[in-house]
Structure 1
Amino acid sequence: MQKLEALYRDPAAIAPLKPSELPVELRESALDIVEAAARLSGSLHPMTARAIADFLRPANSYYSNLIEGHDTHPLAIAQALREMYASDSRNRSLQLEALAHIAVHKRLPELLAAADNNPYTEGFWRAVHRTFYEHLPAEFRWVEAHEGTQLEVLPGELRTNEVRVGRHVAPAAEALPAFIERVEWAYRPKAEANRLARIVNIAAAHHRLAWLHPFLDGNGRVLRLFSDAAFLAEGLNAGGLWSMSRGLARSEQTYKQALAAADSQRLNDYDGRGNLSEKRLVAFCQFFLQVALDQIRYMTQVLAIDEMLGRLRNLVDLLAVKRKWRPEAYYVLEAVFLKGSIARGEIMRLTALSDKTAKELAKTLIDAELLTTDLSVRFAPYRAAYPIAFAPVLFPGLYPAGKEADILNSVR
């Protein structure tokens, strides 16, 4: 073995970038993801799917930031989305951080298109980092170096300082361009005809980019956004109906242990031919793909039509008691869930209410953020919407149990 100093200046130190052969367990996991994502993709009306994808972005933000040690309550995120911020600067900054993640996640299709649908490029990673940090408050743009000095994180700029993450020493900053060039070349999608191998590459690249640590700070968030974009590029994100952040946060200790284990150098002569352990890279890939599969299956179960309609009815029953809602609200929510949208006049037909009462019911649902419309367009249809406030009833298990209890208690 070469000395540590030489390894981290030589791009060969990051090898292997992918398994030398595709193990059966990885091939099967990748195939399971393809099949599960296809089932989830076709389960909803496209307009309903878009509404739920919008609803899920705050949860993705919550979990991604949670992994970084920032526990911003979902209710605080909901308030920030309505431009209602905490009075103290720290909590306000956490709200703005959550909004930054939501904004970048929403722009992933645009950023990916600008990268020619290839998320494995320096330009794409830098664009994600830049977009995220441009939305952050000033206090989150500084990190403390080992010697105690404050360093500014420049949006979209590769680090120029040396870093250590736990026991892992990242490559020398001056060598980053050479490492990045090797990573871009190894993972370029056009070079791999086997779709299952490309799916495994998403997992492998997640680790190798973490190992590379290209930015002074924000690497974890960029990694998770990159992974969502990579599944999108493969047509596996089911229109935004799932993401990696929730699954990784729910297995945070295992996730971080698997990342650290895959940092290991080659164990013996039967462990690949690169500097790093191929066996532990394979183990990380299997963990990562299983997390992805678990998230797809969770959302498939939650969004099963009969189950979802049952929860919509339960929600109306709850609010009929708490807020004196009309029970006919269920028929409106059922229709927009199944159809994606309904004409304004259809509420009268669905509920058999008078025109005036139907309009009052529509306003009630709009005020509750369970219905939306384009106010700039006359007679624009009503569309489905799903606010954080009703997440525990409609999407049970999306947030941790304690947070769900708080959210339910806020429903008055």
Structure 2
Amino acid sequence: MLYRNPAAIAPLKPSDLPAELREVATHLIEAAARLAGSLHPVTAQAIAQFLRPANSYYSNLIEGHDTHPLSIAEALREEYAPDSHNRSLQLEALAHIAVHEQLPALLAEADANPYTQVFWRNLHLNFYTHLSEEFRQVKSHEGDLLEVIPGELRTSEVRVGRHVAPAAAAIPAFIDSIEWGYRPKAEPNRLARIVNIAAAHHRLAWLHPFLDGNGRVMRLFSDAAFLAEGLAAGGLWSMSRGLARSEQAYKQALAAADAQRLNDYDGRGNLSEKRLVAFCQFFLQLALDQLHYMTQVLAIDGMLERLHRLVDLLVVKRKWRPEAYYVLEAVFLKGSIARGEVMRLTGLSDKTAKDLATTLLAAGLLATEPNNRFAPYRAAYPLAFAPVLFPGLYPAGKEADILHAQVGR
């Protein structure tokens, strides 16, 4: 059925907030606050920067683009694959990283309201501006090759699996309905606003406002909505990781919520309210799982133990001195240390301490301001050591590749 009346997207959210949704939303608030307060702000910022490539990896993986994390790391160093397709995949990963980094600024421009056409179009525009020509074209259901215009709403009809998206000409009217229905400032109940993030994620998928790139825009929107609601925990968790690790169940839940009203007890809109509630529960539970995962990974005792294990591994490989641990421990706990602290922490001579700091800078586990010999050393966490320091962040096979590339040589 090709919908033209914007009333067809109703209900936009559950009419009453079921107890199970109130409960998971409450747990999200508590878990995000706990994670946000678990680290020094400088350390948290370093880890958030480290997590952006993982967020990109998983978001693109959902689209069937399995770009190896090592290839993403190479692209961040401006080292691109010689063949055009893999280079396009690298540029796609960089596009997601760049837009994700811009979310706070884009939100500020949108008056902290991510539920607007302008915000979604800006996400799409910024994402597609970075892409190669290869990924700016898409085949229609009839087999025609169509060009994706960055930031522009679609002007042709689309079908996604069994779902026929609403008529292209009616998209502005549907968007008006969404903008009016999800106004954050009009909803005083924070738990309801959190549930709306999940509900809007589905309704955007159902509307399919762009010719292509809707999934990426939805996930970036969701990240922005969690940020606007104070649940991003400084960027220390990734929604895309949860969705990708449950990809089949995620896509099934999306499709199930496309269903029309099941019976007289299933809300009053065109679409099923029961299925929407089930999707919201699924989506928010995945978010909570990711918060719990990162809280566990970043627990201080566990992180310090893994830092010790990393140093031991590199000492065995005769690449580092064992005193490196004291430096890495200090920057993890304090965020940064003065340069002179290295000598005090390690008990090494001035020259040996400087050599050790140089080794850690080269490894990417320390950072500092370039061309400033008085700048402190800051915490940093490169992809190369992700399997040891953040186990389970990437799939096991990818972690094995990463670890071999760094310490298996």
Bin for the TM-score computed over the shorter chain: over 0.9
Q: Secondary structure at the match of 1:37?
A: helix
Map of 2:364 onto structure 1 = 369
Verify: 1:387 aligned to 2:382, yes or no.
yes
Q: Which residue of 2 aligns with 1:9?
A: 4
Instruction: Give distance in 1, aligned partners of 2:405 and 2:318.
Output: 13
Give the Å deviation of 1:88: 1.1
Structure 2: how far apart are the matches of 1:370 and 1:101? 24
Equivalent runs, 1:167-206 vs 2, <5 Å: 167-206=162-201
1:295 equivalent among 290, 293, 297: 290
Aligned to 2:139: 144
1:356 counterpart (344, 351, 358): 351
What residue is the counterpart of 1:229 in the other structure?
224
Among candidates 109, 116, 125, match of residue 114 of structure 1: 109
1:248 aligns with 243
TM-score (norm 1): 0.98
Q: Decide which moves more: 193-202 or 85-94.
A: 85-94
**Which consecutive residues of structure 2, in runs of 5 or more, have no partner in the other structure?**
none
Residues paired across the two proteins, number: 407
Given candidates 73, 87, 94, the residue that maps to 1:92 is 87
Distance 1:324 1:67 in 2: 38
Distance 1:319 1:79 in 2: 22
Distance in 1 separating the partners of 2:176 and 2:372: 49
Report whether the alignment pairs 1:53 with 2:48: yes
Per the alignment, residue 233 of structure 2 pairs with: 238
TM-superposed deviation, 1:378: 3.7
- Shift in Å, 1:277: 0.3
Shift of 1:165: 0.4
Paired residues for 1:333-344 under 5 Å: 333-344=328-339
The amino acid across from 1:57 in the alignment is R
Alignment of 1:258-297 (within 5 A): 258-297=253-292
Q: For 1:376 and 1:122, how far apart are their aligned partners in 2?
A: 43
Q: What letter corresponds to residue 326 of structure 2 in structure 1?
A: Y
Mapped to 1, the partners of 2:198 and 2:327 lie a distance apart of 42
Q: Which residue does the alignment assign to 2:71? A: 76
* Residue in 2 that maps onto 1:132: 127
Q: CA deviation at 1:145?
A: 1.1
- Distance, in Å, in 2 between the alignment partners of 1:107 and 1:324 is 37
Q: What is the SS of the residue equivalent to 1:143?
A: strand
Distance 2:99 2:318 in 1: 36
In 2, Cα distance between the equivalents of 1:240 and 1:56? Answer: 8
Structure 1 position 377, deviation (Å): 3.1
Measured in 2, the distance between the counterparts of 1:287 and 1:324 equals 46
1:22 and 2:46 matched: no
Shift of 1:376: 3.5
User: 1:347-386, CA deviations, whole angstroms, 9 ceiling, x for partnerless residues?
Assistant: 0101111111111111100110011100143411100111
Q: Distance in 2 between matches of 1:243 and 1:76?
A: 20
Alignment match, 1:41: 36
Alignment match, 1:218: 213
* Counterpart for residue 327 of structure 1: 322
SS at match of 1:298: helix
1:408 deviates by 1.2
Q: Using the alignment, how far apart are the partners of 1:348 and 1:285 within structure 2?
A: 53
What amino acid sits opposite 2:185 in the alignment? K
Cα shift at 1:147 = 2.1
| Superposition TM-score, scaled by structure 2 size | 0.99
Deviations 1:121-174 (A, max 9, x none): 000000111000001111100001122221111111100010000010111010
Secondary structure of 2:138's partner? strand
Letter in 2 for 1:233: A
Q: Distance in 2 between matches of 1:386 and 1:243?
A: 16
**Partner residue, 1:257:** 252
RMSD of equivalent CA atoms: 0.7
SS at match of 1:411: helix
Structure 1 runs of 4+ with >4 Å offset: none
> Secondary structure in 2 aligned to 1:87?
coil
CA distance in 1, matches of 2:60, 2:36: 27
Q: Residue 367 and residue 128 in structure 1: after superposition, are their counterparts in 2 closer, same or farther (change >3 A)?
A: same
* Runs of 5+ unmatched residues, structure 1: none
Shift of 1:323: 4.0
Pairing partner for 1:157 from 152, 161, 184: 152
